C-alpha cells in the first residue's frame, strides 16, 4: 500500500490544506462570572447550540503549566496569577467560539479589552449563596484570592467589574443551562448571529 506524497496532498484542494482563516473575523461570545456560575456548562451547551467551538481559558492555563489550576494559584501570588491569566487571555485568536473565562479575568483591563474585541461579553450572574454552595461541593477550583480575603470579599469586588465589562447580564439563578442558552441567543446583538449566517 503506497503512502500519498505531500505533493498529492497539496493538489487535493478539497482537504484541510485548502482551509484558511476567514478574511473578516467572525465574532465570539465570551462568558464571565464567579466560579460556580456555570460558565463551562452553559458555554459548552451554547457552543453546541450554535455549532461553534468551545474554549475554557482555565484549561488553557492548565495546559501551559501541565497541572491543575489549583496548583497554579497555590504556587503564585494573586497578582502574579492575574498577570499570567491576562497574558493567556490576550493571546487568544479565535472565531465562532464560545469562550468561558476564569472568574478573575476582570481584574486586568488589557485582558478585558482583548475579549471585547472578540465579541459580546455575557455575565452569568448568580447570588453569593449559590456560589458558596457550589464552591463548597468543589473547593479545588483555583480561586484567585488574596491573603485574608473571603469568598464574600471577592464576590463583592468583582460584581462591579462584571457589570462594567458585560455586554449582557444573564440572571442565571432560576434558569437551567438550556434556559440560559436560550436567553443568551435571544438577547445577543443581532450582528453576532447574522454574521455567522452570512458566512454560511
Q: Under a CB-based contact definition with an 8 Å cutoff, are residues 55 and 100 in contact?
A: yes
Is residue 36 over pLDDT 80? yes
Q: What is the pTM of this model?
A: 0.85
Total residue length of the chain: 200
User: What is the reported pLDDT for 104?
Assistant: 96
Task: Spell out the domains of the chain, with CATH numbers in brackets.
Answer: 25-192 (3.40.50.300)
Strand intervals (E) in 53-179: 53-56, 97-100, 121-125, 168-171
pLDDT in tens, 101-120: 999 999 999 999 999 999 99
Q: How far is CA 97 from CA 39, 53, 139, 165, 192, in A?
A: 14, 4, 28, 19, 11
Is residue 136 over pLDDT 70? yes
Please state the φ and ψ torsions of residue 145, each to the nearest 5 degrees: -135, 135
Amino acid at each position: 500500500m503506497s503512502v500519498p506524497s505531500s505533493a498529492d496532498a497539496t493538489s487535493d484542494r478539497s482537504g484541510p490544506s485548502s482551509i484558511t482563516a476567514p478574511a473578516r473575523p467572525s465574532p465570539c461570545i465570551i462568558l464571565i462570572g464567579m466560579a460556580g456560575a456555570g460558565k463551562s456548562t452553559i458555554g459548552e451547551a451554547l457552543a453546541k447550540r450554535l455549532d461553534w467551538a468551545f474554549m475554557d481559558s482555565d484549561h488553557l492555563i492548565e495546559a501551559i503549566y501541565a497541572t491543575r489550576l489549583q496548583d497554579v494559584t497555590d504556587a503564585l501570588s494573586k497578582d502574579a496569577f492575574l498577570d499570567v491569566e491576562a497574558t493567556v487571555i490576550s493571546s487568544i485568536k479565535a472565531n465562532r467560539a464560545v469562550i468561558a473565562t476564569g472568574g478573575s479575568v476582570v481584574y486586568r483591563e488589557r485582558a478585558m479589552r482583548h475579549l471585547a474585541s472578540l465579541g459580546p461579553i455575557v455575565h452569568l450572574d448568580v447570588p453569593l449563596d449559590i456560589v458558596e454552595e457550589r464552591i463548597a461541593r468543589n473547593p479545588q477550583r483555583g480561586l484567585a484570592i488574596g491573603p485574608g480575603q473571603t469568598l464574600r470579599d471577592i464576590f463583592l469586588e468583582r460584581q462591579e467589574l462584571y457589570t462594567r465589562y458585560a455586554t449582557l447580564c444573564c440572571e442565571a439563578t432560576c434558569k437551567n443551562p438550556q434556559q440560559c442558552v436560550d436567553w443568551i441567543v435571544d438577547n445577543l446583538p443581532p450582528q453576532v448571529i447574522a454574521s455567522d449566517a452570512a458566512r454560511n
